Each structure stands twice: as structure tokens, then as C-alpha cells.
Structure 1
Amino acid sequence: MMEQVILFTILVGFLISVILSPILIPFLRRLKFGQSIREEGPKSHQKKSGTPTMGGTMILLSIVVTTIVMTSRYSELSVQTYLLLFVTIGFGLLGFLDDFIKVVMKRNLGLTSKQKLFGQIVISFIFYFILRQNEFSTTVSIPLTDISFDLGWLYVFFIIFWLVGFSNAVNLTDGLDGLVSGTAAIAFGAFAVLSWNQEAYDVAIFSLAVVGAVLGFLVFNAHPAKVFMGDTGSLALGGAIATIAILTKLEILLIIIGGIFVVETLSVILQVISFKTTGKRIFRMSPLHHHYELIGWSEWRVVVTFWTVGLLCAVLGIYIEVWL
């Protein structure tokens, strides 16, 4: 039974993405929803200008349909399911608005940082409010120790920090063909294992739906990419994985399982701090994946290396939670 649920959920998510992509990609191209490439980015990326973006819409559609269909069949649509869909769709819509402003209104930076942050905080606060209405635990535990903290009403700030932080972290990582698609599939796969181990089958099915959706998208997003997910996809995926970590009470373990996203974000933070304080850059360019491109690595080599590190992080996270 377990193997059937896992296989069918991934397969349904995969097929929906694969079927939608050949329909949506030409549609996006006709609407001229093409990606604008930053002038300061690697020169090799300039040839990607005009590649259809906002492909995250097909990921979102696949996740929502697969989750509802498979959860209704093999589990039940619980509060957790609705919360996962709410945050994923909410952050996805915020990303969609950002992408729309970039590609249609030709404002390359999209929403301002304050506008985007405000939207993320509102979604996070609503998520927290629903959790508290359902008497959800406000305790945060430290892996490999018996230490835990009951944050009480301060938990709202933790949730806002986690959702905003990881949605932006995945967004920063989305800079190379297939990079986020692959690392997300690995990270969500790890949380599917951990959710199933907790018998949180509704969360596990959602996680498997994401795995199938992003793997289907990867067929068209692998180098050379025929479509980019845009902020529509990356913000949604970041918000979703943070929500899963919160619902399974594995908040801190997300730092390990999502290690690639954390390191990418830290590279940006360190670069900014170093440049503002010393006038020198630590990396040739941040986020970190661009640094490796600029020292001569091919795009595919960077992506495969990051996938491999992401897989090691996921295995380590599972090992810590299940076997230690």
C-alpha cells in the first residue's frame, strides 16, 4: 500500500507537469513572457534572455491537483493539507505578481523589496493564526539534543522568519537551469520520508506531489532550459518546504536538509557585509553558484555538484531524525 501511494503520487504530479509544459510554454512565448537577464550577471547567461518564465504556474497546478486527488483517495483533507496549500498558493501568487510586473510591465526588479516582504509577512501571520486556533505546539526542538524551547506568542516571529527566510533562500538559489528543480525534489523527498515516518500521511502526500511536480518541470527546465519557474515557482517552493518543517516539528532540521538554500543565502549575506565593510568581495559573484561559473565551471557541472551536496544533506537529515 505504501509503495503504491508513493509511486502513484509522484507519477501523477510528474505527468501533470509534463503534460502542461508543452501547452503552457508556447503560450508564454506568444505572450512574450520572457526572462530579462541582469547585465551584471555572467555573460554566458545573456543568451537565455527571452526564455519563457512564470513556469512555476504549472508546478503550482500540478501540486494542487495531485495533493487534492491523492489525499482524498489515500488519506483525508486535513487542516495541515489546507495550510500547506494556502501557503504554497499564497507565496506562488505573490511570486506571480512579481514575475508579471517584471515581464509585462518591463520593471526588471518586479515588486519592491518592501512590497514583497509585506505580502510574505501577511501570509505567514495568517498561517500562524490558523495554527494557534488549532492549538498547534509552539515548541521548537534542537536536533541531536533533548533541548526544546516553548516560544509561546513569540512563535509568530519564528514562523515569519522561517517562511520569509526560506522562500527567499529558494528564490536566490534559482539562478541556473535545473538547479532549484533538482535540489527541491531532493529536499521534499527527504521530508516525504520523515513525514511518513511520523505517520503524517497528509503532509507526506503533499511532499510527494511536489517531488513529482518539480521532476516533471525539470524535463523542460534542465540545461538548456526551455522555461524558467520564476518567482512564481521558487517563492512557492520555499514557503512550502518551510511549512512542512513547521507542521512536522522539524523546523531546525530544515537547515540541514535545505543546506544548499542556506549556503546560497549566506553567500549573499557575507558578500554584502564584506563589500560594505571592507570594499572587497569574498566571491566573484553571489549567490554562490555564480562564483563557480565565473571560476570556469560549466553550468551543468555546478548544477550536478549542488544536486549531489543537496542529496548528502537530505540523507544526513534523515539519518539524524530516524536513526540517531
Structure 2
Amino acid sequence: MTQLDAVYAFVTAFAVAALLTPLTARLARRVGAIDQPKSRGLGRDATPLLGGLAIGAGALVAALIFLDPSARTHDRLLGILGGALLITVVGAVDDRFDLHPAVKLLGQVAAAVIPVAAGVEVTNITLPFAGAIDFGSAGAPVTVVGLVAMMNVVNFSDGVDGLAAGVCAISAVAFSIIAFDLDRSYAAILAACTAGAATGFLLHNFPPASIYMGDTGANLLGLLLGCIAVEGAVKTQAVLALVFPLVVLAVPFLDTTFVILKRMKYRRKVYVADANHFHHRLSRIGFSERRTLAYLYAWTLLLGGFAVALRFIPYSDHHGHLHTGWSVVVAALALLVAAASVYLVYVLEIVKLRRITRRRRPDATEDEVDAHVERTMETGEFEALGR
């Protein structure tokens, strides 16, 4: 399996998902799987769900055509596809009948157990300056927890047209490049299938969306990305193996972490949705849906590019010796990414919010403006602000 196979897999998955998405929209309307506008959401009209069925079909068709697993990886691939099929069914039922959170969690755990039982398991990781850490018998449950967390991370971030599909597509492309370089070609091809299917669906999901992926697609993409991260990076002996997925998926991880901590701080139920995600906050300070996507896509691209750079820049000989010049380059890139991240999640909101507050409250003093901004940033409860 070569890089050219990955390109063909991407194109095939893209075409299948793009062609099937309108059919899944018709199916969703027929069975009543319709998302109604919610006060916390950014959607304005009743929109069909079940877009994840087209994503799953695109990824599956491409995988069956272009994946030729070895005897060593055959069972793991079947496990991934089996888990993907189960979570797609669970998600579709949830999109239609709105399952209880405990039932959804049980379905996620069951779907994660299938690939882990087939060998998609992290038994040890290699950390910089710490060496190898062996999980032993805890490897399987740790991996299941990680896969379930990944499903929920994607699900939590799916709150504005085009966001989850675009971020997952960008992340999958980054994983594909990294996996090829780590000689994990079957994980790289699977990542290309995932990226192509998400991008094909995005044709119909970009604002204004004609269909949503629903829990069907969010859980499926989360499981696939989690398995790809395990098989394509974390299970290798690369020193930064664990760092790659954390950097590539930093945007949805940070978003989910921020929201969960906020709910815990104010004693809200963690699993009850609210409107404090990054995309909600950007919308409330005046960003259009497309501008919100542009910023979050750019942030994801920046982080994904940095993860790829970490793999390709020869800053180390992999035996504990650093090359000064290239290490400086990596450090500079890290500072750039960190600065951009701080700007996007903090400075951007404060600066624009302060300007809008002054415009809406011309008689307020600087201390009053600062107090208002601080209170708003602390609680996450923005006023409805114009563009």
C-alpha cells in the first residue's frame, strides 16, 4: 500500500459519501430523524440527521477496495470495521429516538470493546526523557476509555454546520501522513478513507447545511480517529507517539475540556448540552458561521501541520541527542502555535468583546467595561451581540 493508494482511497470515499448524502437526507426525513432548532444551537431550520450513514458508507467502500491488510493486521482491521458498524447503528437509533445518555454510553463502550478485543490496544507508550511505560493488563481498559472519550469529544464539538466534518477531515489527513512515515500504511489508508468520507459529506454540511451527521457520524468519526491514532502512532515506539494525536486533535480536546470544566464548576450535569463551546462563544461575539469555521479550521491546520513537522524535522537522532539548529526551528514553531492558540481562545474574545461592550454601553467607565468583560469570560454567558 502506497501514498498513491491513499489518494485513490480519499477520492473514492469522497465520491461515495458525496453521492449518498442526499439519499440519507431523504431517508432521515422519511423515518423522522430530524433535528429541530434548539436555543443552544446555531441552526435555524429543521434539518435531517443520519449523515453519518453516508460517511460510514464512503469510508467502508474505500477501505474494502484499497486496504490489503497483512496477516498481522487483518483481525485488527475487522475489529475496527465491526466497531464502526455497531456505533453507526447505535448513533442512527439515537438520532431517531434520542436514547438515554446511559444507553448511548453503553453502546459506545460496546463499540470500543470490539476493536480493542481484536488487538487495537495500547500496551505501552514511549515518552521523552522517561522511556517506555508498560500498561500491562490495564492496556485494554485504558484504550477502551480513550476510544469512548474520542467519540464524545467529536460529538461534543459537532455544534455548527461543517465543524466536526472539517476538523475530522483535517485531522485524518495529518494522521495519514504521520502513519505512512511511521510505516503504518494500513492505518494511513484508513485515515485517508476517513478524511475522504468526511470531506464528501462536508459538501452538503457546509453552511448553510442541508443535512447533519448526527450522533451517527460524530460517534463514527470519533471511533475511527481514535483507532487510527492508536494504530498509526500511539502503538509505535516513536518517542513522540503520544504527542501526535494530542496535538492533531487539540482543538476538539480543548473545547471539550473547557466545556466539561465549566459545567463542573457551576454544578451542571456534564452530559447535558449547553452553549459554551468555542463555536458558540465565537458566534455570540459576532462571528458568522463561516468565519467561525475559518478560524477553527485554521487552528486545526496549524496544529496538524505542527504535528507533521515534529515527525519530519530532524531535530534529534532519536538516541537522546538534539541537533541545535533544528531544535530551534521546532521551538520557534511551538511558540508560534502556542501564541496562535492563546490568541484564538482568549485574546480574540476579550479584545472584540471589550470593543463591542464599549459600543453598546457608551456611558460605561473603563473599570465597568473591564468588570463586564471579566464576568462574561468567567461565566461564558455572553449577551447576544451583533456582527
Query: TM-score higher than 0.5 here?
Result: yes
Residue 298, structure 1, aligned to residue 298, structure 2: no
* Aligned counterpart, 2:90: 94
Selected match of 2:276 from 268, 282, 286: 286
Question: How far 1:3 moved relative to its partner?
Answer: 4.7
Residue 69, structure 1, aligned to residue 60, structure 2: no
Question: Which ranges in structure 2 are unaligned for 5 or more consecutive residues?
Answer: 235-240, 269-273, 316-387
Equivalent positions of 1:137-286 (< 5 A) are 138-142=123-127, 144-248=128-232, 249=234, 250-276=241-267, 285-286=275-276
Q: Which of structures 1 and 2 has the larger relative contact order (alpha carbons within 8 angstroms, sep 6+)?
A: 1
Change (3 A) 1:164 1:67: same
Question: How far 1:252 moved relative to its partner?
Answer: 4.5
Letter in 2 for 1:289: H
Change (3 A) 1:124 1:25: closer
Question: Which ranges in structure 1 are unaligned for 5 or more consecutive residues?
Answer: 102-109, 278-283
Deviations 1:132-175 (A, max 9, x none): 8xxx6600233x44533101011123112211111000001111
Change (3 A) 1:137 1:307: closer
Question: How far 1:314 moved relative to its partner?
Answer: 0.8
- What TM-score comes out, normalization by structure 2 length? 0.72
Letter in 2 for 1:275: Y
SS of residue paired to 1:176: coil
Question: How far 1:92 moved relative to its partner?
Answer: 1.9
- What TM-score comes out, normalization by structure 1 length? 0.86
Equivalent positions of 1:27-38 (< 5 A) are 27-38=27-38
Question: How far 1:210 moved relative to its partner?
Answer: 0.9
Question: How far 1:78 moved relative to its partner?
Answer: 2.0
Q: Distance in 2 between matches of 1:127 and 1:186?
A: 23
Change (3 A) 1:145 1:297: farther
User: How high is the sequence identity, in percent, across the aligned residues?
Assistant: 24
Residue 7, structure 1, aligned to residue 10, structure 2: no
Letter in 1 for 2:21: S
Letter in 1 for 2:210: K
Change (3 A) 1:237 1:67: same
Deviations 1:20-51 (A, max 9, x none): 12333233334442112323x15x53x22x21
Q: Distance in 1 between matches of 2:142 and 2:9?
A: 31
Q: Distance in 1 between matches of 2:266 and 2:64?
A: 47
Change (3 A) 1:137 1:54: closer
Deviations 1:39-98 (A, max 9, x none): 3x15x53x22x21111110000111111011114x9787233223212322222221121
Contact 1:51 1:228 survives alignment (8 Å) = yes
Q: Distance in 1 between matches of 2:49 and 2:5?
A: 32
Q: Distance in 2 between matches of 1:261 and 1:31?
A: 31
* Aligned counterpart, 2:352: none
* Aligned counterpart, 1:118: 106
Structure exhibiting the larger radius of gyration computed from Cα positions: 2
Q: Distance in 1 between matches of 2:110 and 2:76?
A: 19
Deviations 1:192-213 (A, max 9, x none): 1111112222111111111111
Letter in 2 for 1:12: T
SS of residue paired to 2:207: coil
Deviations 1:176-231 (A, max 9, x none): 11101110111000111111112222111111111111111111000000100000
Q: Distance in 1 between matches of 2:125 and 2:101?
A: 29
Change (3 A) 1:81 1:272: same
